[in-house]
Chains A and B, each alone.
Chain A
Amino acid sequence: MKILVCISHVPDTTSKINFVDDDTKFDVQGVQFVINPNDEFGLTRAMWLKEKQDASIDVINVGNQTSEPTLRKALAIGADRAIRINAEPIDGFFVAKQIAEFIKENPYDLIIAGRESIDYNGAMVPGLIAGFLNIDYVTNCTKLDIENGKATLDREIDGGKETLSGSLPIIIGGQKGLVEESDLRIPNMRGIMQARQKPLDTIEPFDFSPNTSTIKFHKPEPKQAVKLVDSDNLDELINLLHNEAKVL
Chain B
Amino acid sequence: MAVLTYIESSNGKIKKSGFELASYACELAKQTNSSAIAITINCPDTSEIANYGIDKVLKVNSDSLNEFNAKLYSDVISQASTNFDCDRIVLSSSSDSKYLAPLLAAKIDASYLNNVISLPSNLNPFTVRRTAFTNKAFSDTSSSSKNIIIGLSNNSFGLVENSVSLSEEDFQVNLENSNLAVESTEKASGTISIADADIVVSAGRGMKGPENWNLIEDLANTLGAATACSKPVSDMGWRPHSEHVGQTGKPVATNLYIAIGISGAIQHLAGINSSKIKVVINNDPEAPFFKAADYGVVGDAFEVVPKLNEKLKEFNLQNS
**What is the interface of chain A, defined by CB distance below 8 A to chain B?**
11, 13-14, 17, 19, 26, 37-38, 92-93, 96, 118-128, 130-132, 136-140, 142, 152, 155-167, 175-177, 180-181, 211-220, 223-224, 226-231, 234-235, 237-238, 240-242, 245, 247-248
Contacts and interface: CB of A to CB of B under 8 A. Distances in A.
A123 B103 CA distance: 11
A187 B228 CA distance: 33
Given A121-B131, A242-B315, A228 B297 contact: yes
12 contacts: A123-B98, A123-B114, A127-B102, A158-B196, A162-B68, A218-B138, A224-B294, A227-B294, A231-B298, A234-B311, A238-B308, A240-B295
A118 B138 contact: no
Nearest to A139: B99
Nearest to A41: B248
Interface string B94-125: 11101101111111000111110000000001
B294 A245 contact: yes
Q: Is the interface of B mostly helix, strand, loop or mixed?
A: mixed
A237 B182 contact: no
A177 B231 CA distance: 13
A211 B94 CA distance: 24
Majority SS of interface residues in chain A? mixed
A165 B180 contact: yes
Q: Which of A125, A212, A227 has the most CB of B within 10 A?
A: A212
Contact of B279 (A17, A241, A242): A241
Contacts of B296: 226-229
**Which 3 interchain pairs have the tightest Cβ spacing?**
A131-B106, A127-B102, A159-B193
A214 B140 contact: yes
Interface of B: 68, 70-71, 74, 94-96, 98-99, 101-107, 111-115, 125, 127, 129, 131-134, 136-145, 178-188, 191-196, 198-199, 223, 235, 241-242, 244, 247-249, 255-256, 266-267, 270, 273, 276-277, 279-280, 290-300, 303-304, 307-308, 311-312, 315
A165 to B, nearest CB: 5
A120 B241 contact: no
B248 A124 contact: no
Contacts of A214: 139-141
Interface centre among A19, A157, A164 (most CB of B within 10 A): A157
B64 to A, nearest CB: 16
A8 to B, nearest CB: 13
Nearest to A228: B296
A13 B141 contact: no
B277 A241 contact: yes
A136 B181 CA distance: 11
A18 to B, nearest CB: 9
Given A164-B181, A217-B132, A234-B311, A13 B247 contact: yes
Nearest to A245: B277
Contact of B294 (A152, A213, A226, A234): A226
A163 B187 CA distance: 11
A13 B248 CA distance: 10
Contact of B111 (A137, A142, A165, A211): A211
B255 A157 contact: no
Contacts of B136: 17, 219-220
A159 B277 contact: no
A38 B251 CA distance: 14
A28 B115 CA distance: 23
A38 B198 CA distance: 27
Contact of A217 (B98, B115, B139): B139
B284 to A, nearest CB: 13
A155 B249 CA distance: 14
B133 A119 contact: yes
Given A131-B106, A238-B311, A242-B315, A163 B183 contact: yes
A130 to B, nearest CB: 6
Nearest to B106: A131
A210 to B, nearest CB: 9
B315 A226 contact: no
Contacts of B105: 93, 124, 127-128, 131
